[in-house]
Amino acid sequence: MQSVLTLIRGVEPDTISDLNDAIVGEVRAALNGLGAETGAPDWLAPGTACDLAFDNISEDQADAAARHVLGDARVDVIAQPIAGRRKKLLLADMDSTIVTGETLDDLAAYAGLKDEISAITARAMNGELDFEDALRERVAMLKGLAESTLEDAWAQVELTPGAAVMVRTMAASGAHCVLISGGFKFFTARVRDLCGFHEDLSNNFVIEDGQLTGVVTEPILNKDVKQKTLIARAAEHGLALSDSLAVGDGANDLPMLQAAGLGVAFRGKPSVRVAAPARLDYADLTGLLFAQGFRADAFAH
Pair (51, 93) in one structural domain: no
Residue 137's alpha-carbon distances to 54, 103, 130, 215, 276, in angstroms, are 49, 15, 11, 9, 27
Question: Side-chain half-sphere of 239: how many Cα atoms within 13 Å?
Answer: 23
DSSP string, 44-104: EETTTEEEEEEESS-HHHHHHHHHHHHTT--EEEEEEESTT-S-SEEEE-TBTTTBSS-HH
Count of CB atoms situated within 10 Å of the CB of 58: 13
Question: Side-chain half-sphere of 131: how many Cα atoms within 13 Å?
Answer: 20
Query: What pTM did the predictor assign?
Result: 0.96
DSSP string, 155-200: TT--BPTTHHHHHHHHHHTT-EEEEEEEEEHHHHHHHHHHHT-SEE
Pair (149, 252) in one structural domain: yes
Pair (76, 205) in one structural domain: no
Residue 261's alpha-carbon distances to 170, 277, 295, in angstroms, are 15, 9, 20
What pLDDT does residue 14 have? Answer: 66
Pair (256, 184) in one structural domain: yes
What pLDDT does residue 205 have? Answer: 97
Q: Which domain holds residue 27?
A: 1-83
AA identity, residue 139: V
What pLDDT does residue 12 have? Answer: 80
The CATH number assigned to the domain holding 21 equals 3.30.70.260
What pLDDT does residue 301 have? Answer: 87
Among 67, 83, 99, which residue terminates a domain? 83
- Hey, CA dihedral for 98, 276, 72, 126, is it positive or negative? positive
Among 39, 64, 83, which residue terminates a domain? 83
Per the DSSP assignment, residues forming a β-bridge with 203 are 184
Pair (50, 73) in one structural domain: yes
Pair (57, 150) in one structural domain: no
Q: What are phi and psi of 246, to 5 degrees?
A: -125, 140
Segment-wise mean pLDDT, segments of 10 residues, the chain, 301 residues? 96 78 97 98 97 97 97 96 97 98 92 92 91 94 95 96 98 98 97 98 97 96 97 98 98 97 97 95 97 97 87
Pair (34, 67) in one structural domain: yes
Among 43, 63, 83, which residue terminates a domain? 83
Pair (39, 98) in one structural domain: no
Please choose, from the candidates 185, 189, 181, 300, the residue with its C-alpha nearest in 3D space to the C-alpha of residue 248.
181
Pair (65, 131) in one structural domain: no
Catalytic residues: 93, 95
160-164 LR contacts (CB < 8 Å, sep 24+): 160/97, 160/98, 160/99, 160/100, 160/266, 160/284, 160/285, 161/11, 161/284, 161/285, 162/283, 162/284, 162/285, 162/286, 162/287, 163/98, 163/99, 163/195, 163/285, 164/194, 164/195, 164/196
Pair (51, 100) in one structural domain: no
Q: Evaluate whether 7 touches 27 at the Cβ level (below 8 Å).
A: yes
Number of domains in the chain: 2
Q: What are phi and psi of 217, to 5 degrees?
A: -65, 145
What pLDDT does residue 15 have? Answer: 63
The CATH number assigned to the domain holding 271 equals 3.40.50.1000
Supply the DSSP symbol for 146.
B
Pair (102, 200) in one structural domain: yes
Please choose, from the candidates 132, 93, 58, the residue with its C-alpha nearest in 3D space to the C-alpha of residue 257.
93
- Hey, CA dihedral for 70, 74, 75, 76, is it positive or negative? positive
- Give CA–CA dist 56/77, Å, rounded: 19
Pair (176, 50) in one structural domain: no
